[in-house]
Each structure stands twice: as C-alpha cells, then as structure tokens.
Structure 1
C-alpha cells in the first residue's frame, strides 16, 4: 500500500502512520471474526459436557448473534456521547469477560449468557471500527483502509479455526483435560484473552476521531489529529466538519434518523438494505454449515473439513483483491460485479441441489455434479470476498454524514446481525425441505441485490466525509452524479 501512488488527490501525511492506526481499530474486526468462529471446535464437546440437546445447544451458539444486534444498536449512541476510543475499550472489556466466562462456564445457561456478552462486544466492534477508520483516513486511501475491517474479520475466523485445531492436536480431543486440568474446549474460549487484551492496550495508543473532537468543541486536538493523519487543508476540513455537525445533540438520539421514507432518511434505508442483502445471499451458511453441508452431499468428514479451510483461505485472498481495487474502480462497480457473480453461482448451486437424486433423505451429487457444486460454492465466496464482504463495511463507514454517522451505522449494523440470525437459524429448516429451495431463496436475494445497487447506491470513491448528505431527498437514479 505504501509504494503505490494515491488513486485520487494528494495527501500530506505518511500513509504508514495512518495504516497503523487503522489496523489497530480493525483489531476489533479480528476479535469479531475470532469470537464468532471459535465456538466451532467446541460445539460437540459442550453438548457432551453439559448433556445438552440439539435445540438448546443451537441456541447457545446463536445467542451471540442476539448480543451482536444489541451491541451494534447502542454502540453508535455511546460513541457519539463518550467517544470512539471508549467504545473500543468497552468492546475489549466485553471480549475479556466473555472469554473468561465461557472458558470457566458451569453449565449451558451461563455459557449462553457469556456468549451474549461476547456478542455485545462483537456488535460494538462492528460499528466502531468502520466509523473510526473512515474518520481518520485520507480520502484517497479510505476504501483500502476501510477494507482492513473485513480483512481482520476473515483473518480472525481463520486464526480461530487454526487455534481450535492446535488445541485439539495438543490435548488429543476437545473433551480431554489439557493445561491446569481444564478441558481443551475451554481453552478455545480462553485463547481469546490474548487478542482482547492487545486490542484494549493498543486502543489506548491511538487518537480520538477528529469528527468527534470537533463535535465536542475540542478544535485544537482535532486539528492536530487531522494534520497528522488525514492531511489536506486542515482549516477548511475543520470548518466543513463544524458545518456538518451543527445541530448534533449532546445526547445522541435515534430521532435524528427520522425522515419521510417510511419514517427514516433514505440514506439510512440504503445502509439497512446493504446490510440485509449482504446476509440474505447466504454467506454465513457457507461458513457456519459448510462441513455438514459437504458431508451431506457425499464428501467425507476429512474432505469436508479441508474444503472449509480452503474456503476460509479463499475469503482472505479475495479480500486482498478488494483492498487493491476499491479505491481504483470504486465501491459501486465492485458491488455490482459481486452481486452478478453471486447470483450466477447461487443459481448453479440451486439447480444442482434441486435436481440431485435423494438417497436416505439426503441429496447426492453424482458424477460431475459434485465438482460443479464445489466450484460454484468457492466462486461464490470469491465474488463475496472481493465485493460485498469488505465494500459494505467501507460504505457503512463513509456513506453517512458526520451528523448521523455513528447512530446510522448502529442501525445498519444491527439490521445486519438480525439478518445473520435469521439466515443462520432458518437454514436447517429450509435444508430439511430441500437444499434446492434454500439456495433458490439466496439466489433471489442476489438477483435483487443487482437492482438495489444500480438504483440506490451512490459512489463515495474520492469524496470527503463532509460532502456526504443525510438530507431527506430521493436517492439518485442510474447515471446521476455522486
């Protein structure tokens, strides 16, 4: 990143300095991914340890998503009232508590409670990282730096899977006692203490958001941060920010999002739409259920686990592609290509599963059908990882005006977690009816995403955050300006 010239405009600060600050904020994304994935290796052991049935066990896994939605909903208001850094510190503390609570849980109910606590941290991190990164980044690099959030998420997922595997390898199985007599599955949760503490300590070393400082009247500090990290004409930027935060309340309320479009500002509905469509194309079915899915259609358990790891690595590689492209070709083109690609891949999967012969109640992909489905599923991850995965987070961090950014991002992120919960909990029921039906529904939403991007998404490439509009006006149509 440091060797290439800026895609648009000029900056007057060392980009390495900005990268380090953005990467620190993105550690919240790493914990976001780690926390949501680390339970994968512990599920069977938890069920055995606490003699838990599938329904209650499933709830304990999904309970974190409830906390995620709640944490996201309130994080924006807390950030506007007390600052972005304090939200990071709060999220780090919640991750620490969850790690300890889950690792030392006495039963399934208190484990579920600590999973909700961890979810609160994930929800808060999912809001504050993109908002903070957007607010301290020079416009020419804002897309790349914002994409670090998604890179951190997918890396966190990958590291969690590797950590689970390493602990099981060392202990012999997830149920066996390991260090200090604690079962291996408990150490999977306790391992999160390390990145959580690092996140909290590093958050103390980075500056507060200049937009927050200006909103609080701390102009001298804000100008110092702008000069060191954002660059450009600091006096003009300060004046522009002052204009955009006028009318912002000292006690942030959701009422500032009210508009004529079904009760909300149109731009808020666009954020909600992006968040929901990101989830409703079924990406988390691939990550949460992939091993079970591939076993169901004929692959061995070992092959299914290998495919899952390959898929995780694929997601990381394609996120790097997005980082390289997002500030060059823009957000909207990436979303459009991604939506078209996801639609095509999901349509292939829907057809493959709908036409597969049923043996013992499960579809069997005979002959070329298995490899075709495998290629389609991984190509789907390629299109998602290079577009909707990182780009949605970038847009949510920069598409809202200074006045409403944190609160609007909270609403959009909460909608995203709610959509995640819906998809994750309905997939088993849909799969019981038929995988063709499940993937047919995800195909429909990918098709809808194409037209949503064309009609409603505004390009934000190269624009300053102060030029973002939250006015209650119609969304531009195709071909209109940014």
Structure 2
C-alpha cells in the first residue's frame, strides 16, 4: 500500500495532480537509489588522506616520501609534486570516462536499475583489490575497477532519481545523491583520521570502500526500475504498475503514462541519438551538458575534495591537523547539501548558482591573499600559528558555497533538462566531460600548486567569475517543470528560443 502526501504545485505546467505527491514508496526508492552517492563520495574522501600516509607512500611511492621529507626547508607547495602519485587518484577518472559510453547504451537497453547493480559489483571488486594491493600495478588496476563502477553508477543514479521523483520535489530528491556523496566523503575523512598512525591504515581505508558498495548494491535489488525506462523498453504493463506504486494507489497515472509513451516514440524516431543531440534544436541541451560539468571542476573543488590533507600538509600544518581539516570540511559540505535540499525547490536553481558563485569567488581571492602573506611569495615559510585556522575558515565558507550550489546542481540540471530522445546520450556526454575535466585537474593539480603556489586560487577564482556570468545569462530556471514539458523552458529563453522554436 502506498502512502501519499498531497502537496499542491503552482509551477506545474500541465496540471498533473501527481506532481506534488510524495508516497512512501517513492521516498524509500529514492533513498536507496541516492545511496549510490556513497561510493563516489567515499573514494573522493579517502584518496587525499591516504596519499599523505607515510606507510602508503613508502610502500608504493618511496621517491615521493623522500621528496616530502626534503621539502620541509624548501618550497612547501612542491612537497607532493609527483605525476605517479596523482595517477593513483586520476586513474579512476580515466576508467570512468571509458565507462560512460558503455553505461549510456546499457541504461537504454537494460534499464537504470541493472546498471546501478553492475556498477556496485564492479566497485566492490575494485575496493577489495585496493585493500589487498601488493604493488603499484594492483593498486592502479583496482582504481580502474573503481572508476568503472563509479562511471556506471554516476550515469544511472541521477537519471533514476529525476525520473522517479515528483516534478515539484525533483530538486530535493535529486540532491539526495549528493547528500549521500557528502556522507561518503565525511566517513572516509574520519576513517583516515583514526587509522593514519597505523602501518596498515591505508589498507583499511581503501578496503572499506567495499562497505558502501555493498549497501548500494543490496538496496538496488529491492527497488523497481523507473517508468520511463520500462516504457522505453516496451514494458507498458510494468511501467503502469511502477507509476501506480510511486504515485499512489489512488492516483490517475494515465496522463503521465501517455506522456511517457509519446516521449518514447519520439526517442525511437531518433535512430542515432549521438547524432541527434548535435541537431540545432538540441543546442541548448548540448551546451549545458558540456559547460556545467566543465565549470564545476574549475571551481577549484579538486583542491578541497581530493587534496585538502595535501594542501594543509604542504603549508606546514602537519598530518594530524591536515586530516582534522578534512573532517571539518566534509562536515561543512554535508550540512550545505542539506541546505540545498531544503531550498532548491523553493527558490530555484539559478539563485543558488549565483549566490554560491559569488561566495566561492570571494573565498578563492581571500585564500590566495592569505597564503601569500603567510608563506611568502616563494612558499618557503611555514604557515604561522593561527593562519592555518583562518585558512580553514575560508575553505569552509568556500565548501559551503559549493555544497549548496555547484555540487548538487551539477548533477540535478543535466538529469532534468534532456528529453527522452537524447537523455541517455546527454547524460553520457555530461559524465564524460566531468570525468575528463576531473582527470586533467587531479593529474596536474599538484604540479600547478608547485608552480603557481598561492596564485592557483586566483586562477580558480577567475573561472568562478566566468561561470557565474554564464549562469546569469544562459541558464533558464527549471524548478517544478515536468520532464516531458522541459522543452517549453527553452522556447521562452531570450537566447535559446532561436534554436528550439517551432522544432519540438
């Protein structure tokens, strides 16, 4: 029996009474699906902490351990500058990039749920291999398996959430993925803190990645596939049953099912979705699929997400303080995602993007000035006592701005703007761009930190200014709009209407 809360929706374009209804079934289903964010979040949190553990460096990267020891009296920004070490982090994103087109095809042919299951199983195997790694080859191979798991999961889960959630509350439900991502980051940071002093600590940190993978995979066995996916594969009876379950037993789902069938027919007419997405009428979707994940990575989040312990260790804070800072930042990020969950469907996507962008820009400029004053132009001075706390404060404000804007919205916007005819392909391009940008930045971040020093934060600040202007000018508001009616948003936009007008 489905329990429902009736909530009106002033923004519903088609008058569908189900747009604001939250049933117990859809609530549980979305929580289970969103738990897929745990695996990516855990990996993000674990990587930076592990790469500062002496036992890990001495076993797999002895030259880096020696370099870090010798850097104490020279340029601290270059303490961990090693392409071999950054490959440990960035190799996951190469695998994720390769997995994206495969996941796109599997999502269309086998459904969202099955791709989530496959991604969880592969991630579990990769975690086991990393925990048992005896050499660098096993370590990198395990990272590649983790990347394939993340690639499958990151593609299937956001689409699943956007298709199951009621239109009025799609933002809140879709940010659930990033909320669990934040839980994963915070959990990993805490584990790193408690095991860092042990010689086997890195094995436990890496091996425990299997736990969130198991939670997500087991949970996925008990949820239904989305109505859109079932219609797409011709399973209309199952699609109707799925709609009734997630919308409530007393709901009239005929109109929504008809919209899904019509969208599916249009999707089937596009025999080559990869070619279709480059058509003029799909120009705004394509631009957003590329620009939003690209811009997200150039907010400088790599500094915080992957290398917070490295950054604090590099400026002389010590490993204990560095791992403590990572925990604090993880907690701030998680709290800010909760804020986004509450307000994203009330105030819209654009406002959060703009406020978050301004907040992050100010913090990046402040961080650059602070590091210049504290460590000197050459980066040879150890950061004075008290300055490290101020550094953490600015990073926390930055992380909060990112946490309620570009963090959840980068997943939400691409998952809701694509019509069914190009949804799998569009999300695949979005994920591929995200993994490509993340790979490049994570691979070269430590080298950039070594050469640009404090001005690296100014570099990211300039990008934040550019992306905030982009949002103001080109991104329309999508709050409360049913997926099947999303094209109407582009037709009303001052710029994009010239591409989509009259071509729906």
1:94 equivalent in structure 2: 122
Aligned twin of 2:68: none
Cα RMSD for the two superposed structures: 3.0
Shift in alpha-carbon separation, 1:429–1:349, aligned structure 2, 3 A? same
Q: 1:443 to 1:337 in 2, by over 3 A?
A: same
- Report the number of matched residues: 468
**Please, what TM-score do these two structures have when normalized by structure 2?**
0.85
Once residues 7 and 337 of structure 1 are traced to their aligned partners in structure 2, the CA distance between those partners, rounded to angstroms, is 25
Q: Which runs of 4+ in 1 moved over 4 A?
A: 2-10, 249-253, 354-357, 363-372, 470-475, 477-480
Instruction: Note if 1:23 corresponds to 2:51.
Output: no
For residues 60 and 304 of structure 1, the distance between their equivalents in structure 2, rounded to whole angstroms, comes to 20
Q: CA deviation at 1:260?
A: 4.0
Q: Report how far residue 42 of structure 1 moved.
A: 3.5
Alignment correspondent of 1:454: 472
Unaligned runs of 5+ in 1: 176-182
C-alpha separation between the residues in 2 aligned to 1:346 and 1:86? 41
CA contact (8 A) 2:49 2:323 kept: no
2:105 alignment partner, one of 69, 77, 85? 77
Alignment of 1:46 onto 2:46: no
- Equivalent residues of 1:67, 1:123 under 8 A apart: yes
**C-alpha distance in 1 between matches for 2:489 and 2:483:** 14
61-70 vs 405-414, greater mean Cα deviation: 61-70
Partner of 1:196: 213
Partner deviation per Cα, 1:378-429 (whole Å, 9 max, x = no partner): 1111111111111221112111112211221111111112111222222222
- The match for 2:274 is 254
Residue 398 (structure 1) aligned with residue 416 (structure 2): yes
3-state SS of 1:265 partner: helix
Match of 1:222 among 239, 264, 287: 239
Task: Note closer, same or farther for the CA distance 1:69–1:53 as it changes in structure 2 (3 Å cut).
Answer: farther
Q: CA deviation at 1:106?
A: 3.0
Quote the offset at 1:247 in angstroms. Answer: 3.9
**Is this contact kept in 2: 1:24–1:203, CA < 8 A?**
yes
Picking from 428, 431, 435, the partner of 2:453 is 435
User: CA offsets per residue over residues 205-232 of structure 1, 9 Å max, x none?
Assistant: 1111111111122111111111221466
Q: Kindly report which structure 2 residues correspond to 1:159-198, keeping only aligned pairs within 5 A, or say none.
A: 159-168=187-196, 173=198, 175=199, 183-198=200-215
- Measured against aligned partners, the alpha-carbon deviations of 1:317-375 in whole angstroms (never above 9, x if no partner) come to 11100000011111111111111211121122233334555287436656886555433
**Which digits, 9 at most, give the CA deviation of each residue in 1:249-300, with x for residues without a partner?**
4987422312249xx7321211211111111010121122222323443534
- Please tell me whether the aligned partners of residues 350 and 440 of structure 1 are also in contact (alpha carbons under 8 angstroms): yes
Query: Partner residue of 1:68?
Result: 96
Rate the CA distance shift 1:166–1:430 in 2: closer, same or farther, 3 A: closer
Contact 1:71 1:120 in 2 (8 A): yes
Residue 21 of structure 1: CA displacement?
0.5
SS at match of 2:471: helix
Matched, 1:358 2:376: yes
Report the CA distance shift for 1:233/1:341 in structure 2 as closer, same or farther (over 3 A).
farther
**Separation (CA, whole Å) in 2 of partners of 1:359 and 1:258:** 47
Aligned to 1:424: 442
Q: Give ranges in structure 2 of 5+ residues lacking alignment.
A: 65-82
C-alpha distance in 2 between matches for 1:291 and 1:425: 16
- Following the alignment from structure 2 to structure 1, what is the Cα–Cα distance between the partners of residues 447 and 61? 23
User: In structure 2, do the counterparts of structure 1 residues 201 and 134 end up closer, same or farther at CA, with 3 Å as the change threshold?
Assistant: same
The offset of 1:27, in angstroms, is 1.7
Range 246-255 or range 441-450, more displaced: 246-255
SS of 2:239's equivalent?
Answer: helix
